Structure 1
Amino acid sequence: MKKNKTLSEMTEEELVGEFTNASIAQKEASEKDKFSKYNKLFDRIVEIRNERKIRPGDRRRDLLPLLTHDNIQVRLMAAIETLAVAPDAACRTLKEIKDSNWFPFAMDASSTLSWFESGRFRPE
């Protein structure tokens, strides 16, 4: 069996797992001021987003269960990714993160909410 699958070879469940793992690693990188690693993980999340976009149907809904994940970075990234398909749920999660005052996550959630509500950020 092939050990390292490409994103195009992964199932929907595997893509959600890859998204979750990348988000968890992002939080760890952020807490250790490893910004280069954080940015590489962000790029990986974008690759996962792009893979989901080219698949039939709107696969962003697969991330909705992550809005209640224990890891704040997983919740943040899932909320951003689901704004287009479940704006009410995503905005509730972003507001909860913002209200937590757990920085830098609260700042990212606040900025995303502000941009989304003002129309400056329109998820595709």
Structure 2
Amino acid sequence: MTKTSLELLSTAQLISRFAEIGAAQYEAELDLDTRRYNRLYDQMTLVSQELKRRPGDERSHLSELYGHPNIQVRLKAAVHTLAVHPEEAREVLEEVAARSGYPQSGDARGMLRALHDRSYVPE
């Protein structure tokens, strides 16, 4: 997946690709496959950057994934929409943080803490 190939995709296709990547990240985490997870992280970043680049910052469409059945997809959709839907994204992060037994709940708590102490400022 290249930046140029992402430019050719519709917003709906990018949202679908983002969800696919998130689900694959979930599996990579379960398998403790850090190399694969990192590759997927980079791919997700490219998708998010492409959405942001589009007129009107189309990352807002990632909010469609707030109710996704995969917790990793919900977490990443919230993180990537903090700049465009701050209140709604925080609610999703709080919901994920309230769960136990998943690495995603720790990630969500860490992000909420970083937002609170302003060590992370969404762009």
Is this a same-fold pair by TM over 0.5?
Answer: yes
Correspondence for 1:91: 90
CA shift, 1:102, in A, is 3.1
Work out whether 1:38 is the aligned partner of 2:65. no
Identity %: 36
Work out whether 1:16 is the aligned partner of 2:15. yes
DSSP-derived class of the 1:100 partner: coil
CA shift, 1:17, in A, is 0.6
Aligned pairs for 1:54-93 within 5 A:
54-93=53-92
Correspondence for 1:120: 119
- Over the aligned positions, Cα root-mean-square deviation in angstroms equals 1.1
User: 1:95 and 1:102 mapped to 2: Cα distance?
Assistant: 15
2:40 maps to amino acid: L
Which 4+ residue blocks in structure 1 deviate beyond 6 angstroms? none
1:97 maps to amino acid: V
2:58 maps to amino acid: R
2:29 maps to amino acid: S
CA shift, 1:11, in A, is 0.2
CA shift, 1:43, in A, is 0.2
CA shift, 1:103, in A, is 2.2
User: 1:80 and 1:8 mapped to 2: Cα distance?
Assistant: 22
TM-score (norm 1): 0.93
Deviation per CA, 1:63-112, whole angstroms, max 9, x where unpaired? 11111110000000000011111111111111111110132101100000
- The answer for unaligned runs of 5 or more in structure 2 is none
CA shift, 1:120, in A, is 1.0
Correspondence for 2:28: 29
User: 1:117 and 1:89 mapped to 2: Cα distance?
Assistant: 15
Aligned residues: 120
Correspondence for 1:52: 51
- The answer for unaligned runs of 5 or more in structure 1 is none
CA shift, 1:53, in A, is 1.8
User: 1:17 and 1:90 mapped to 2: Cα distance?
Assistant: 18
